[in-house]
Structure 1
Amino acid sequence: MAKQMLIDAIRGKKTPRAPWVPYAGVHCAFVIGEPADKFLQDPKLLAKGVVETAKKYKADGIPLVFDLSVESASMGLEIKWWPDNVPSVQSHPLSDKTVEEAGLKVPGPEDGRWPVLFEAAALAKPQLDEMDCALMGLACGPLTLASHLAGVRIFTDVYKNKAKAHEILKFCAEVVEKSAESYCKMGCDIVAIVDPVASQIKDETFREFVHPYCQAAIATIHRYGKTSSFFICGDATKVMESVCKIGTHGFAIDEQLNMNFVRDLARKHGVGFGGNLKLTLALSLGILSPREDAIVSLAAGGNHGFVFAPG
Protein backbone atom coordinates (compact mmCIF):
# COMPACT_ATOMS: atom_id res chain seq x y z
CA MET A 1 0.00 0.00 0.00
CA ALA A 2 1.60 3.23 -1.11
CA LYS A 3 -0.55 6.29 -1.79
CA GLN A 4 2.23 8.59 -3.01
CA MET A 5 3.52 5.96 -5.38
CA LEU A 6 0.08 5.77 -7.00
CA ILE A 7 -0.12 9.54 -7.31
CA ASP A 8 3.33 9.62 -8.90
CA ALA A 9 2.42 6.90 -11.39
CA ILE A 10 -0.78 8.68 -12.49
CA ARG A 11 1.34 11.80 -12.98
CA GLY A 12 3.61 9.88 -15.36
CA LYS A 13 6.59 9.44 -13.04
CA LYS A 14 8.80 6.41 -12.47
CA THR A 15 7.94 4.33 -9.41
CA PRO A 16 9.70 1.46 -7.55
CA ARG A 17 6.92 -0.84 -8.73
CA ALA A 18 3.60 -0.51 -10.50
CA PRO A 19 0.99 0.58 -7.93
CA TRP A 20 -2.21 -1.46 -7.80
CA VAL A 21 -5.82 -0.25 -7.83
CA PRO A 22 -8.79 -2.63 -7.72
CA TYR A 23 -11.81 -0.80 -9.16
CA ALA A 24 -13.91 -2.75 -6.70
CA GLY A 25 -17.22 -0.88 -6.94
CA VAL A 26 -20.10 -2.96 -5.62
CA HIS A 27 -17.73 -5.89 -5.12
CA CYS A 28 -17.03 -4.07 -1.84
CA ALA A 29 -20.60 -4.95 -0.85
CA PHE A 30 -19.93 -8.62 -1.63
CA VAL A 31 -16.75 -8.54 0.48
CA ILE A 32 -18.75 -7.55 3.59
CA GLY A 33 -21.75 -9.71 2.73
CA GLU A 34 -24.24 -6.95 1.92
CA PRO A 35 -26.50 -6.40 -1.11
CA ALA A 36 -25.34 -3.63 -3.43
CA ASP A 37 -28.51 -1.55 -3.13
CA LYS A 38 -28.34 -1.44 0.67
CA PHE A 39 -24.57 -0.90 0.63
CA LEU A 40 -24.70 2.14 -1.68
CA GLN A 41 -27.32 3.91 0.45
CA ASP A 42 -25.74 3.37 3.88
CA PRO A 43 -22.63 5.49 4.61
CA LYS A 44 -21.39 3.19 7.37
CA LEU A 45 -21.66 0.09 5.18
CA LEU A 46 -20.10 1.94 2.26
CA ALA A 47 -17.09 3.01 4.33
CA LYS A 48 -16.74 -0.45 5.86
CA GLY A 49 -16.84 -2.15 2.46
CA VAL A 50 -14.27 0.18 0.89
CA VAL A 51 -11.83 -0.19 3.81
CA GLU A 52 -12.22 -3.96 4.09
CA THR A 53 -11.75 -4.39 0.34
CA ALA A 54 -8.64 -2.21 0.35
CA LYS A 55 -7.23 -4.41 3.13
CA LYS A 56 -8.23 -7.66 1.43
CA TYR A 57 -6.61 -6.78 -1.88
CA LYS A 58 -3.69 -4.77 -0.45
CA ALA A 59 -4.68 -1.79 -2.59
CA ASP A 60 -2.56 1.31 -3.11
CA GLY A 61 -5.75 3.20 -3.98
CA ILE A 62 -9.46 2.45 -4.15
CA PRO A 63 -12.56 4.34 -5.38
CA LEU A 64 -15.16 5.44 -2.85
CA VAL A 65 -17.80 4.24 -5.33
CA PHE A 66 -17.80 3.22 -8.96
CA ASP A 67 -21.36 4.28 -9.71
CA LEU A 68 -22.09 6.60 -12.62
CA SER A 69 -25.74 7.06 -11.63
CA VAL A 70 -24.89 9.33 -8.69
CA GLU A 71 -25.13 12.56 -10.68
CA SER A 72 -28.33 11.53 -12.49
CA ALA A 73 -30.03 10.43 -9.28
CA SER A 74 -29.10 13.71 -7.60
CA MET A 75 -31.02 15.54 -10.34
CA GLY A 76 -34.14 13.48 -9.77
CA LEU A 77 -33.85 10.98 -12.64
CA GLU A 78 -35.49 7.63 -12.05
CA ILE A 79 -33.05 4.85 -11.26
CA LYS A 80 -33.54 1.15 -10.74
CA TRP A 81 -31.74 -0.52 -7.84
CA TRP A 82 -30.16 -3.97 -8.02
CA PRO A 83 -28.92 -6.21 -5.21
CA ASP A 84 -25.87 -7.32 -7.21
CA ASN A 85 -24.98 -4.34 -9.38
CA VAL A 86 -24.89 -0.55 -9.56
CA PRO A 87 -28.18 1.27 -10.16
CA SER A 88 -29.27 1.89 -13.75
CA VAL A 89 -30.77 5.13 -15.06
CA GLN A 90 -34.35 4.63 -16.26
CA SER A 91 -35.56 8.10 -17.33
CA HIS A 92 -34.08 10.45 -19.93
CA PRO A 93 -35.73 13.87 -19.52
CA LEU A 94 -33.69 15.62 -22.22
CA SER A 95 -34.70 13.17 -24.94
CA ASP A 96 -37.56 15.50 -25.86
CA LYS A 97 -37.05 18.58 -23.64
CA THR A 98 -34.51 21.32 -23.12
CA VAL A 99 -32.69 21.69 -19.81
CA GLU A 100 -35.04 24.53 -18.87
CA GLU A 101 -38.19 22.63 -19.90
CA ALA A 102 -37.09 19.62 -17.85
CA GLY A 103 -36.40 21.83 -14.84
CA LEU A 104 -32.94 20.37 -14.30
CA LYS A 105 -30.55 22.12 -11.93
CA VAL A 106 -26.86 21.49 -11.21
CA PRO A 107 -26.95 19.38 -8.04
CA GLY A 108 -24.94 20.26 -4.95
CA PRO A 109 -23.49 18.24 -2.06
CA GLU A 110 -26.85 18.22 -0.28
CA ASP A 111 -28.72 16.56 -3.16
CA GLY A 112 -29.43 12.91 -3.87
CA ARG A 113 -26.87 10.50 -2.47
CA TRP A 114 -24.11 13.07 -2.10
CA PRO A 115 -24.65 13.33 1.69
CA VAL A 116 -24.16 9.54 1.89
CA LEU A 117 -20.87 9.81 -0.01
CA PHE A 118 -19.61 12.69 2.12
CA GLU A 119 -20.35 10.80 5.33
CA ALA A 120 -18.82 7.58 3.97
CA ALA A 121 -15.67 9.43 2.88
CA ALA A 122 -15.33 11.02 6.33
CA LEU A 123 -15.45 7.55 7.88
CA ALA A 124 -13.20 5.78 5.36
CA LYS A 125 -10.52 8.41 4.68
CA PRO A 126 -8.73 8.29 8.07
CA GLN A 127 -8.62 4.50 7.95
CA LEU A 128 -7.28 4.48 4.39
CA ASP A 129 -4.69 7.14 5.30
CA GLU A 130 -3.50 4.92 8.13
CA MET A 131 -3.12 2.09 5.59
CA ASP A 132 -1.27 4.41 3.15
CA CYS A 133 -4.02 3.87 0.59
CA ALA A 134 -5.38 6.65 -1.64
CA LEU A 135 -9.08 7.44 -1.81
CA MET A 136 -10.36 7.99 -5.34
CA GLY A 137 -13.44 9.90 -6.46
CA LEU A 138 -14.99 8.98 -9.79
CA ALA A 139 -17.16 11.62 -11.47
CA CYS A 140 -19.46 10.68 -14.36
CA GLY A 141 -18.02 12.13 -17.57
CA PRO A 142 -19.92 14.62 -19.76
CA LEU A 143 -20.84 12.37 -22.69
CA THR A 144 -21.90 9.48 -20.45
CA LEU A 145 -23.97 11.88 -18.34
CA ALA A 146 -25.51 13.28 -21.53
CA SER A 147 -26.50 9.74 -22.53
CA HIS A 148 -28.24 9.37 -19.16
CA LEU A 149 -30.08 12.66 -19.58
CA ALA A 150 -30.96 12.41 -23.28
CA GLY A 151 -30.80 8.68 -23.96
CA VAL A 152 -29.15 7.13 -27.00
CA ARG A 153 -30.24 10.00 -29.24
CA ILE A 154 -27.23 12.00 -28.00
CA PHE A 155 -25.08 9.80 -30.24
CA THR A 156 -26.96 10.99 -33.33
CA ASP A 157 -27.40 14.55 -32.08
CA VAL A 158 -23.61 15.06 -31.98
CA TYR A 159 -23.71 14.60 -35.76
CA LYS A 160 -27.20 15.70 -36.84
CA ASN A 161 -28.30 18.23 -34.22
CA LYS A 162 -25.11 19.78 -32.94
CA ALA A 163 -26.70 22.84 -31.38
CA LYS A 164 -28.86 20.70 -29.10
CA ALA A 165 -25.94 18.38 -28.30
CA HIS A 166 -23.78 21.34 -27.31
CA GLU A 167 -26.56 22.69 -25.10
CA ILE A 168 -26.83 19.37 -23.27
CA LEU A 169 -23.06 18.91 -23.00
CA LYS A 170 -22.63 22.44 -21.66
CA PHE A 171 -25.05 21.64 -18.84
CA CYS A 172 -23.34 18.29 -18.24
CA ALA A 173 -19.98 20.06 -17.95
CA GLU A 174 -21.36 22.15 -15.07
CA VAL A 175 -22.61 19.01 -13.32
CA VAL A 176 -19.28 17.18 -13.80
CA GLU A 177 -17.38 20.18 -12.43
CA LYS A 178 -19.59 20.27 -9.32
CA SER A 179 -19.20 16.52 -8.90
CA ALA A 180 -15.41 16.76 -9.16
CA GLU A 181 -15.42 19.58 -6.61
CA SER A 182 -17.47 17.46 -4.21
CA TYR A 183 -14.97 14.62 -4.42
CA CYS A 184 -12.15 17.10 -3.80
CA LYS A 185 -13.94 18.55 -0.78
CA MET A 186 -14.58 15.13 0.74
CA GLY A 187 -10.84 14.49 0.72
CA CYS A 188 -10.26 12.25 -2.29
CA ASP A 189 -6.58 12.18 -3.24
CA ILE A 190 -7.32 11.35 -6.88
CA VAL A 191 -10.36 12.44 -8.88
CA ALA A 192 -11.15 10.82 -12.22
CA ILE A 193 -13.62 11.79 -14.93
CA VAL A 194 -15.18 8.52 -16.06
CA ASP A 195 -16.59 8.66 -19.60
CA PRO A 196 -16.88 5.06 -20.82
CA VAL A 197 -19.03 5.82 -23.89
CA ALA A 198 -16.52 8.36 -25.22
CA SER A 199 -14.93 5.51 -27.19
CA GLN A 200 -18.08 5.21 -29.32
CA ILE A 201 -17.53 8.40 -31.32
CA LYS A 202 -15.07 9.65 -33.92
CA ASP A 203 -11.93 11.44 -32.81
CA GLU A 204 -13.10 14.77 -34.25
CA THR A 205 -16.38 14.35 -32.36
CA PHE A 206 -14.44 13.58 -29.17
CA ARG A 207 -12.48 16.80 -29.62
CA GLU A 208 -15.70 18.77 -30.15
CA PHE A 209 -18.02 17.21 -27.57
CA VAL A 210 -15.84 15.64 -24.85
CA HIS A 211 -12.57 17.57 -24.59
CA PRO A 212 -14.03 21.07 -24.03
CA TYR A 213 -16.66 19.86 -21.59
CA CYS A 214 -14.08 18.25 -19.29
CA GLN A 215 -11.93 21.35 -18.90
CA ALA A 216 -13.82 23.04 -16.06
CA ALA A 217 -13.79 19.85 -13.97
CA ILE A 218 -10.09 19.27 -14.66
CA ALA A 219 -9.27 22.86 -13.68
CA THR A 220 -11.22 22.42 -10.44
CA ILE A 221 -9.41 19.19 -9.57
CA HIS A 222 -6.06 20.88 -10.14
CA ARG A 223 -7.10 24.00 -8.23
CA TYR A 224 -7.70 21.79 -5.18
CA GLY A 225 -4.23 20.29 -5.64
CA LYS A 226 -5.56 16.84 -6.45
CA THR A 227 -4.38 14.33 -9.03
CA SER A 228 -6.60 13.91 -12.10
CA SER A 229 -7.34 11.04 -14.45
CA PHE A 230 -9.67 10.24 -17.34
CA PHE A 231 -11.25 6.79 -17.62
CA ILE A 232 -12.50 5.43 -20.94
CA CYS A 233 -13.86 2.00 -21.93
CA GLY A 234 -14.11 -0.11 -25.06
CA ASP A 235 -11.85 0.00 -28.09
CA ALA A 236 -10.81 3.62 -27.77
CA THR A 237 -7.84 3.33 -30.15
CA LYS A 238 -9.13 6.06 -32.47
CA VAL A 239 -9.44 8.66 -29.69
CA MET A 240 -6.41 7.80 -27.54
CA GLU A 241 -4.25 10.63 -28.85
CA SER A 242 -7.00 13.05 -27.82
CA VAL A 243 -7.37 11.33 -24.43
CA CYS A 244 -3.66 11.95 -23.82
CA LYS A 245 -4.20 15.64 -24.64
CA ILE A 246 -7.35 16.18 -22.57
CA GLY A 247 -5.41 17.76 -19.70
CA THR A 248 -5.55 15.19 -16.89
CA HIS A 249 -2.40 13.87 -15.24
CA GLY A 250 -3.18 10.38 -16.51
CA PHE A 251 -5.81 8.07 -17.95
CA ALA A 252 -7.10 4.52 -17.63
CA ILE A 253 -8.33 2.09 -20.28
CA ASP A 254 -9.97 -1.32 -20.43
CA GLU A 255 -8.99 -4.74 -21.70
CA GLN A 256 -9.79 -4.06 -25.35
CA LEU A 257 -6.73 -1.88 -25.91
CA ASN A 258 -3.20 -3.02 -26.68
CA MET A 259 -1.02 -2.22 -23.68
CA ASN A 260 2.15 -1.61 -25.70
CA PHE A 261 0.32 0.93 -27.88
CA VAL A 262 -1.16 2.68 -24.83
CA ARG A 263 2.16 2.69 -22.94
CA ASP A 264 4.08 4.25 -25.81
CA LEU A 265 1.40 6.88 -26.38
CA ALA A 266 1.24 7.82 -22.68
CA ARG A 267 5.01 8.18 -22.41
CA LYS A 268 5.09 10.26 -25.59
CA HIS A 269 2.72 12.74 -23.93
CA GLY A 270 4.20 12.48 -20.42
CA VAL A 271 1.03 11.23 -18.73
CA GLY A 272 0.28 8.19 -16.61
CA PHE A 273 -1.76 5.21 -17.80
CA GLY A 274 -3.71 2.47 -16.06
CA GLY A 275 -5.08 -1.01 -16.87
CA ASN A 276 -5.10 -3.68 -18.28
CA LEU A 277 -5.98 -6.83 -16.32
CA LYS A 278 -8.76 -8.46 -18.33
CA LEU A 279 -11.91 -8.07 -16.28
CA THR A 280 -14.04 -10.30 -18.53
CA LEU A 281 -11.76 -12.97 -19.97
CA ALA A 282 -9.57 -13.46 -16.91
CA LEU A 283 -11.30 -12.25 -13.73
CA SER A 284 -14.94 -13.01 -14.57
CA LEU A 285 -14.93 -15.94 -16.99
CA GLY A 286 -11.53 -17.49 -16.26
CA ILE A 287 -10.91 -18.18 -19.95
CA LEU A 288 -7.44 -16.75 -19.41
CA SER A 289 -5.34 -17.39 -16.32
CA PRO A 290 -5.60 -14.26 -14.12
CA ARG A 291 -2.05 -14.85 -12.93
CA GLU A 292 -0.60 -15.07 -16.43
CA ASP A 293 -2.70 -12.13 -17.58
CA ALA A 294 -1.37 -10.06 -14.67
CA ILE A 295 2.23 -10.96 -15.52
CA VAL A 296 1.73 -9.91 -19.15
CA SER A 297 0.18 -6.57 -18.16
CA LEU A 298 2.87 -5.83 -15.58
CA ALA A 299 5.63 -6.66 -18.05
CA ALA A 300 4.13 -4.40 -20.71
CA GLY A 301 3.33 -1.53 -18.33
CA GLY A 302 6.63 -1.45 -16.50
CA ASN A 303 7.21 1.05 -13.71
CA HIS A 304 7.13 4.36 -15.55
CA GLY A 305 3.76 6.04 -15.15
CA PHE A 306 1.89 2.74 -14.99
CA VAL A 307 -0.97 1.81 -12.65
CA PHE A 308 -1.89 -1.87 -12.60
CA ALA A 309 -5.66 -2.25 -12.47
CA PRO A 310 -8.53 -4.19 -14.01
CA GLY A 311 -9.25 -3.07 -17.57
Structure 2
Amino acid sequence: MLLIRAHEEAAVALQGAGKAGGTCTAVGQEASAVGVVMALTENDQILTNHRSIGHLLARGADPRRTMAEILGRQDGYCAGKSGSLHISARELGVVLTSTIVGGELGLATGVALSRKMLGQPGIVACFFGDGAACEGRFHESLNLAAVWELPVLYVCENNHWQAFVHRRETMLVESITAHAPAHGVESNAVDGNDVEAVHDAASAAIAHIRKTGRPYLLETVTYRLRGHYEPDDQSYVDPQELAHWRARDPILLLKRKLDGEGVLDAAGQQRMEQRVRRRIEEAVGFAEANPYPSLDALTTDVYA
Protein backbone atom coordinates (compact mmCIF):
# COMPACT_ATOMS: atom_id res chain seq x y z
CA MET A 1 0.00 0.00 0.00
CA LEU A 2 2.90 2.35 0.71
CA LEU A 3 4.38 1.63 -2.71
CA ILE A 4 1.07 2.36 -4.43
CA ARG A 5 0.59 5.61 -2.50
CA ALA A 6 4.13 6.80 -3.24
CA HIS A 7 3.74 5.93 -6.92
CA GLU A 8 0.49 7.89 -7.15
CA GLU A 9 1.99 10.92 -5.43
CA ALA A 10 5.03 10.83 -7.71
CA ALA A 11 2.78 10.69 -10.79
CA VAL A 12 0.84 13.70 -9.49
CA ALA A 13 4.11 15.60 -8.94
CA LEU A 14 5.28 14.79 -12.47
CA GLN A 15 1.98 16.01 -13.88
CA GLY A 16 2.21 19.21 -11.83
CA ALA A 17 5.71 19.80 -13.18
CA GLY A 18 4.48 19.43 -16.75
CA LYS A 19 6.38 16.19 -17.29
CA ALA A 20 3.36 13.87 -17.55
CA GLY A 21 -0.22 13.98 -18.70
CA GLY A 22 -3.15 14.06 -16.34
CA THR A 23 -3.99 10.97 -14.35
CA CYS A 24 -6.82 9.50 -12.29
CA THR A 25 -5.41 8.42 -8.93
CA ALA A 26 -6.83 5.97 -6.41
CA VAL A 27 -5.27 7.53 -3.32
CA GLY A 28 -7.23 6.18 -0.36
CA GLN A 29 -8.25 2.97 -2.14
CA GLU A 30 -5.01 1.03 -1.63
CA ALA A 31 -6.49 -1.53 0.77
CA SER A 32 -9.08 -2.59 -1.79
CA ALA A 33 -6.49 -3.17 -4.50
CA VAL A 34 -4.02 -5.00 -2.29
CA GLY A 35 -6.57 -7.04 -0.38
CA VAL A 36 -8.19 -8.42 -3.53
CA VAL A 37 -5.18 -8.88 -5.80
CA MET A 38 -3.15 -10.65 -3.12
CA ALA A 39 -5.94 -13.25 -2.90
CA LEU A 40 -5.56 -14.15 -6.59
CA THR A 41 -3.22 -16.77 -8.09
CA GLU A 42 -0.97 -16.57 -11.13
CA ASN A 43 -3.60 -18.38 -13.25
CA ASP A 44 -6.15 -15.63 -12.63
CA GLN A 45 -6.61 -12.65 -14.93
CA ILE A 46 -7.47 -9.03 -14.18
CA LEU A 47 -9.43 -6.38 -16.04
CA THR A 48 -9.50 -2.95 -14.45
CA ASN A 49 -10.45 0.67 -14.94
CA HIS A 50 -8.86 4.11 -15.05
CA ARG A 51 -7.76 3.92 -11.38
CA SER A 52 -5.56 0.92 -12.08
CA ILE A 53 -2.07 1.52 -10.72
CA GLY A 54 -2.86 -0.12 -7.38
CA HIS A 55 -4.05 -3.29 -9.09
CA LEU A 56 -0.95 -3.36 -11.29
CA LEU A 57 1.55 -2.83 -8.48
CA ALA A 58 -0.23 -5.28 -6.18
CA ARG A 59 0.03 -7.80 -9.01
CA GLY A 60 3.79 -7.32 -9.10
CA ALA A 61 4.25 -4.70 -11.81
CA ASP A 62 7.68 -3.09 -11.95
CA PRO A 63 7.23 0.56 -10.87
CA ARG A 64 10.00 1.57 -13.27
CA ARG A 65 7.97 0.28 -16.20
CA THR A 66 4.66 1.70 -14.98
CA MET A 67 6.33 5.08 -14.49
CA ALA A 68 7.94 4.86 -17.92
CA GLU A 69 4.53 4.14 -19.40
CA ILE A 70 3.04 7.19 -17.68
CA LEU A 71 5.79 9.32 -19.22
CA GLY A 72 5.26 7.76 -22.66
CA ARG A 73 8.65 6.05 -22.83
CA GLN A 74 9.61 2.99 -24.85
CA ASP A 75 10.26 0.59 -21.96
CA GLY A 76 6.83 1.09 -20.42
CA TYR A 77 4.47 -1.87 -20.33
CA CYS A 78 2.78 -0.74 -23.55
CA ALA A 79 5.88 0.86 -25.10
CA GLY A 80 4.72 4.31 -24.03
CA LYS A 81 1.42 4.19 -25.93
CA SER A 82 -1.08 3.87 -23.09
CA GLY A 83 -0.15 6.62 -20.66
CA SER A 84 -1.52 6.11 -17.14
CA LEU A 85 -5.05 5.16 -18.14
CA HIS A 86 -4.82 2.16 -20.50
CA ILE A 87 -1.98 -0.03 -19.20
CA SER A 88 -2.08 -3.75 -19.88
CA ALA A 89 0.55 -6.32 -18.92
CA ARG A 90 0.02 -9.75 -20.40
CA GLU A 91 2.87 -11.30 -18.41
CA LEU A 92 1.08 -10.30 -15.20
CA GLY A 93 -2.33 -11.47 -16.36
CA VAL A 94 -3.61 -7.88 -16.55
CA VAL A 95 -5.65 -8.09 -19.74
CA LEU A 96 -6.50 -4.41 -20.02
CA THR A 97 -7.33 -1.12 -18.37
CA SER A 98 -10.53 0.41 -19.75
CA THR A 99 -11.34 4.09 -19.38
CA ILE A 100 -14.84 3.59 -20.78
CA VAL A 101 -17.04 3.58 -17.67
CA GLY A 102 -18.24 -0.01 -17.31
CA GLY A 103 -16.30 -1.10 -20.38
CA GLU A 104 -14.29 -3.69 -18.47
CA LEU A 105 -17.50 -5.33 -17.19
CA GLY A 106 -18.61 -6.70 -20.54
CA LEU A 107 -15.06 -7.53 -21.56
CA ALA A 108 -14.40 -9.47 -18.35
CA THR A 109 -17.49 -11.56 -18.99
CA GLY A 110 -16.19 -12.28 -22.48
CA VAL A 111 -12.73 -13.22 -21.20
CA ALA A 112 -14.29 -15.59 -18.66
CA LEU A 113 -16.45 -17.18 -21.36
CA SER A 114 -13.33 -17.71 -23.46
CA ARG A 115 -11.47 -19.32 -20.58
CA LYS A 116 -14.39 -21.65 -19.87
CA MET A 117 -14.72 -22.71 -23.51
CA LEU A 118 -10.98 -23.37 -23.76
CA GLY A 119 -10.92 -25.25 -20.46
CA GLN A 120 -8.35 -22.89 -18.96
CA PRO A 121 -7.83 -22.75 -15.18
CA GLY A 122 -8.26 -19.67 -13.02
CA ILE A 123 -10.82 -16.93 -12.59
CA VAL A 124 -11.28 -13.41 -13.96
CA ALA A 125 -11.24 -10.45 -11.55
CA CYS A 126 -12.96 -7.31 -12.80
CA PHE A 127 -12.53 -3.98 -10.98
CA PHE A 128 -15.05 -1.18 -11.49
CA GLY A 129 -16.50 1.75 -9.56
CA ASP A 130 -19.94 2.70 -8.27
CA GLY A 131 -20.40 4.88 -11.35
CA ALA A 132 -20.10 1.82 -13.59
CA ALA A 133 -22.68 0.07 -11.40
CA CYS A 134 -25.19 2.63 -12.72
CA GLU A 135 -24.55 1.51 -16.30
CA GLY A 136 -26.69 -1.02 -18.12
CA ARG A 137 -23.59 -3.06 -18.90
CA PHE A 138 -23.23 -3.86 -15.18
CA HIS A 139 -26.56 -5.66 -15.16
CA GLU A 140 -26.03 -7.30 -18.55
CA SER A 141 -22.63 -8.62 -17.50
CA LEU A 142 -23.78 -10.05 -14.18
CA ASN A 143 -26.82 -11.62 -15.80
CA LEU A 144 -24.81 -13.32 -18.55
CA ALA A 145 -22.12 -14.50 -16.14
CA ALA A 146 -24.80 -16.04 -13.94
CA VAL A 147 -26.70 -17.65 -16.83
CA TRP A 148 -23.51 -19.02 -18.42
CA GLU A 149 -21.96 -19.92 -15.05
CA LEU A 150 -18.74 -17.98 -15.56
CA PRO A 151 -15.89 -17.69 -13.00
CA VAL A 152 -15.85 -13.91 -12.58
CA LEU A 153 -15.10 -11.96 -9.42
CA TYR A 154 -16.78 -8.59 -9.94
CA VAL A 155 -15.16 -6.08 -7.57
CA CYS A 156 -17.02 -2.80 -7.13
CA GLU A 157 -14.68 -0.30 -5.50
CA ASN A 158 -17.40 1.98 -4.18
CA ASN A 159 -15.47 5.22 -3.58
CA HIS A 160 -18.65 7.36 -3.36
CA TRP A 161 -17.76 9.65 -6.27
CA GLN A 162 -18.60 9.32 -9.95
CA ALA A 163 -16.29 11.91 -11.45
CA PHE A 164 -17.77 15.10 -9.91
CA VAL A 165 -21.11 13.57 -8.90
CA HIS A 166 -21.76 11.93 -5.52
CA ARG A 167 -23.22 8.44 -5.71
CA ARG A 168 -26.24 9.56 -3.63
CA GLU A 169 -27.28 11.67 -6.62
CA THR A 170 -27.38 8.65 -8.93
CA MET A 171 -28.67 5.70 -6.86
CA LEU A 172 -31.20 5.10 -4.11
CA VAL A 173 -29.71 1.89 -2.69
CA GLU A 174 -26.99 2.07 -0.04
CA SER A 175 -25.08 -0.92 -1.34
CA ILE A 176 -24.24 -2.08 -4.86
CA THR A 177 -24.72 -5.65 -3.62
CA ALA A 178 -28.47 -4.96 -3.45
CA HIS A 179 -28.56 -5.65 -7.20
CA ALA A 180 -26.92 -9.08 -7.01
CA PRO A 181 -29.89 -11.26 -5.89
CA ALA A 182 -31.95 -10.22 -8.90
CA HIS A 183 -29.31 -11.81 -11.11
CA GLY A 184 -28.85 -14.90 -8.96
CA VAL A 185 -25.37 -13.82 -7.94
CA GLU A 186 -23.83 -14.27 -4.49
CA SER A 187 -22.38 -11.08 -2.99
CA ASN A 188 -20.79 -9.39 -0.01
CA ALA A 189 -19.90 -5.85 1.04
CA VAL A 190 -16.81 -5.18 3.12
CA ASP A 191 -14.94 -2.25 4.68
CA GLY A 192 -12.70 -1.36 1.75
CA ASN A 193 -10.25 0.55 3.97
CA ASP A 194 -9.40 -2.51 6.09
CA VAL A 195 -6.92 -4.47 4.00
CA GLU A 196 -7.20 -7.62 6.10
CA ALA A 197 -10.99 -7.59 5.94
CA VAL A 198 -10.83 -7.11 2.18
CA HIS A 199 -8.36 -9.97 1.81
CA ASP A 200 -10.54 -12.30 3.89
CA ALA A 201 -13.68 -11.37 1.95
CA ALA A 202 -11.92 -11.71 -1.40
CA SER A 203 -10.45 -15.09 -0.42
CA ALA A 204 -13.91 -16.36 0.55
CA ALA A 205 -15.43 -15.03 -2.68
CA ILE A 206 -12.70 -16.60 -4.81
CA ALA A 207 -13.06 -19.93 -3.01
CA HIS A 208 -16.80 -19.80 -3.81
CA ILE A 209 -16.09 -19.13 -7.49
CA ARG A 210 -13.54 -21.95 -7.75
CA LYS A 211 -15.94 -24.38 -6.09
CA THR A 212 -19.08 -23.48 -8.03
CA GLY A 213 -17.76 -21.97 -11.26
CA ARG A 214 -20.26 -19.17 -10.77
CA PRO A 215 -19.73 -15.37 -10.52
CA TYR A 216 -19.55 -13.36 -7.30
CA LEU A 217 -19.98 -9.64 -6.58
CA LEU A 218 -17.70 -8.14 -3.94
CA GLU A 219 -18.21 -4.51 -2.91
CA THR A 220 -15.34 -2.75 -1.17
CA VAL A 221 -16.64 0.42 0.47
CA THR A 222 -13.82 2.94 0.26
CA TYR A 223 -13.15 6.57 -0.70
CA ARG A 224 -10.82 8.38 -3.06
CA LEU A 225 -8.98 11.10 -1.18
CA ARG A 226 -7.93 13.06 -4.26
CA GLY A 227 -10.05 14.52 -7.04
CA HIS A 228 -11.42 12.75 -10.06
CA TYR A 229 -8.60 13.74 -12.39
CA GLU A 230 -5.36 15.64 -11.79
CA PRO A 231 -5.40 18.55 -11.24
CA ASP A 232 -8.64 18.79 -9.24
CA ASP A 233 -9.14 20.98 -6.14
CA GLN A 234 -12.16 18.92 -4.90
CA SER A 235 -14.12 22.12 -4.33
CA TYR A 236 -17.33 20.14 -4.92
CA VAL A 237 -16.66 17.79 -1.96
CA ASP A 238 -18.20 18.34 1.49
CA PRO A 239 -15.18 19.19 3.73
CA GLN A 240 -16.64 17.21 6.65
CA GLU A 241 -17.07 14.12 4.50
CA LEU A 242 -13.51 14.40 3.23
CA ALA A 243 -12.15 14.89 6.76
CA HIS A 244 -14.05 11.80 7.94
CA TRP A 245 -12.51 9.62 5.27
CA ARG A 246 -9.04 11.08 5.67
CA ALA A 247 -9.20 9.91 9.27
CA ARG A 248 -9.99 6.45 7.87
CA ASP A 249 -7.01 6.42 5.49
CA PRO A 250 -6.30 2.68 5.00
CA ILE A 251 -2.56 3.12 5.44
CA LEU A 252 -3.06 5.08 8.66
CA LEU A 253 -5.46 2.43 9.97
CA LEU A 254 -3.03 -0.40 9.28
CA LYS A 255 -0.11 1.51 10.78
CA ARG A 256 -2.04 1.97 14.01
CA LYS A 257 -3.07 -1.66 14.08
CA LEU A 258 0.44 -3.01 13.47
CA ASP A 259 1.90 -0.66 16.06
CA GLY A 260 -0.76 -1.58 18.62
CA GLU A 261 -0.15 -5.29 18.09
CA GLY A 262 3.61 -4.83 18.42
CA VAL A 263 4.15 -6.13 14.89
CA LEU A 264 5.71 -3.02 13.39
CA ASP A 265 6.68 0.00 15.47
CA ALA A 266 7.16 3.57 14.28
CA ALA A 267 10.85 3.03 13.55
CA GLY A 268 10.07 -0.03 11.45
CA GLN A 269 7.38 1.84 9.57
CA GLN A 270 9.80 4.68 8.87
CA ARG A 271 12.38 2.27 7.44
CA MET A 272 9.72 0.75 5.22
CA GLU A 273 8.65 4.19 3.99
CA GLN A 274 12.26 5.07 3.22
CA ARG A 275 12.70 1.90 1.16
CA VAL A 276 9.55 2.71 -0.78
CA ARG A 277 10.68 6.30 -1.41
CA ARG A 278 14.02 5.08 -2.75
CA ARG A 279 12.28 2.61 -5.01
CA ILE A 280 9.97 5.27 -6.43
CA GLU A 281 12.84 7.74 -6.87
CA GLU A 282 14.66 5.03 -8.83
CA ALA A 283 11.53 4.43 -10.92
CA VAL A 284 11.16 8.12 -11.76
CA GLY A 285 14.86 8.36 -12.63
CA PHE A 286 14.59 5.31 -14.86
CA ALA A 287 11.51 6.67 -16.61
CA GLU A 288 12.92 10.15 -17.20
CA ALA A 289 16.14 8.68 -18.66
CA ASN A 290 14.25 6.22 -20.84
CA PRO A 291 13.91 7.30 -24.50
CA TYR A 292 10.65 8.00 -26.26
CA PRO A 293 9.52 5.42 -28.84
CA SER A 294 10.96 5.90 -32.33
CA LEU A 295 8.70 7.02 -35.17
CA ASP A 296 8.78 3.57 -36.78
CA ALA A 297 6.95 2.24 -33.68
CA LEU A 298 3.95 4.48 -34.39
CA THR A 299 1.96 1.74 -36.18
CA THR A 300 3.23 -1.36 -34.38
CA ASP A 301 0.75 -3.21 -32.14
CA VAL A 302 -2.11 -1.34 -33.81
CA TYR A 303 -4.97 -3.57 -34.94
CA ALA A 304 -7.97 -2.93 -37.17
Shorter chain as denominator, the TM-score bin is 0.3 to 0.5
Q: Which has the higher helix share?
A: 1
Select the structure with the greater relative contact order (CA < 8 A; seq sep ≥ 6): 2
Q: TM-score if structure 1 supplies the norm length?
A: 0.32
Q: TM-score if structure 2 supplies the norm length?
A: 0.32
